[in-house]
């Protein structure tokens, strides 16, 4: 059977157009992400798959695949708000995606004193939800206290601390101009802006987008995805289309 060369050209065009559309959506509108660590538990669990809006804070080179150095700064920029759950590129390599909660904006003074979070010399009120919960820290299961934290702008979110508050006191962090300070909700199991050598303050150009909602969630630590007879245990239906707060 002889194939018309137009057949190959038409299919090549279809693939090319599909690729352009996919890259445009991923760069300008929404991008899916997978949660591989427990640093944001209980807000985000290992195995959550979520959509991040790329337009929420405007665009930088990190909005594009592989962060090509084709322009500097941000355009159509909108400032993030304290309490937002944000995906950003780590300052250490400008390549790795992290997801944390925004706690400090430029000029804010952040400090931990006796296990309590202070912003601009004001202690952040924590309402104790539970004195004994079990969550993950990597592969380890830990006992934590669960709180609702009330940020200065009225934003409320859930955070957890080890019962003995392993991270009790810190230096004073003063957020520089055009930078942000992030924490994981799993406070004693998160590499975040408290660790200046690995994460530290995040420049505004490194912001990728705002986490919006979970569209799929599974815990394949229980069983492989191919073990379909255990999907009732591994797939978390109650987390589908859950808005991220």
Paired tokens of 136: 């993950």
Active-site annotation holder among 54, 89, 100, 145 = 100
Q: d(Cα 154, Cα 224) in Å, to the nearest integer?
A: 41
Say whether 39 is catalytic: yes
24 sits in which H/E element = helix 5-28
Residues found in the chain: 245
Burial of 106 (0-12, 13-18, 19+ CB in 10 A): middle
DSSP assignment of 101-113? EEEE-TT-EEEEE
The rounded distance, in Å, linking the Cα atoms of 27 and 40 is: 24
Catalytic residue among 39, 60, 63, 190: 39
- Rg (C-alpha) for the chain, rounded Å, is 21
CA 23/CA 54 separation, integer angstroms: 12
Enumerate the active-site residues: 39, 100
């Amino acid at each position: 059977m002889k194939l018309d060369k137009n057949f190959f050209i038409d299919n090549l065009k279809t693939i090319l157009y599909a690729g352009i559309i996919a890259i445009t959506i991923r760069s300008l509108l929404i991008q899916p992400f997978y949660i591989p660590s427990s640093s944001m538990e209980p807000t985000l669990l290992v195995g959550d798959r979520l959509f991040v809006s790329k337009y929420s804070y405007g665009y930088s080179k990190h909005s594009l695949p592989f962060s090509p150095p084709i322009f500097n700064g941000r355009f159509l920029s909108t400032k993030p708000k304290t309490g937002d759950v944000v995906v950003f590129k780590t300052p250490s390599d400008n390549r790795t995606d992290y997801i944390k909660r925004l706690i400090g904006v430029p000029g804010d003074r952040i400090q931990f004193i006796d296990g309590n979070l202070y912003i601009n010399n004001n202690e952040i009120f924590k309402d104790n939800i539970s004195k004994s919960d079990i969550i993950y820290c990597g592969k380890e299961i830990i006992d934590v206290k669960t709180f609702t934290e009330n940020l200065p702008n009225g934003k409320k979110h859930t955070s957890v601390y080890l019962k003995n508050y392993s991270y009790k006191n810190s230096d004073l962090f003063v957020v520089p101009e055009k930078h942000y300070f992030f924490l994981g909700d799993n406070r004693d199991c998160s590499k975040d802006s408290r660790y200046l050598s690995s994460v530290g303050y995040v420049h505004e150009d490194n912001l990728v987008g705002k986490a919006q909602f979970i569209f799929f969630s599974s815990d394949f630590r229980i069983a492989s995805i191919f073990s379909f007879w255990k999907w009732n245990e591994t797939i978390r239906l109650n987390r589908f289309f859950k808005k991220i707060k």
